[in-house]
Amino acid sequence: MQNTAAYQLASIQFKRNDLAGAKKTLQNVMLSQPTAEMLWLAIQIERAIGTKDAEASYSLQLRRQFPDSEQARLLKSGK
């Protein structure tokens, strides 16, 4: 439950263009097992910030851990 609330907060921060806040909030919740949704949000945040290495790392995690997820399909389609 706590992870869900933190993920939602990070999502809101991202939508409000608070990239630093979203990144910090999401990093704290991703210390445990990240979900496909969390990894997708992390990719979007890093892409917006321009951190290519972090974006690539999260992309690799998403493709390896959740290859059949909707988020992996979005990543593959170039979104």
Q: What's the pTM?
A: 0.91
26-37 pLDDT, tens digit each: 998 888 789 999
* Residue 32 CA to its chain's centroid (Å): 14
pLDDT of residue 1 exceeding 50: no
Question: What pLDDT does residue 12 have?
Answer: 97
Give, in order, the Cα–Cα distances in Å from 64 to each of 61, 70, 75, 78. Answer: 5, 13, 12, 17
Q: Do residues 36 and 5 touch, judged by C-beta distance below 8 A?
A: no
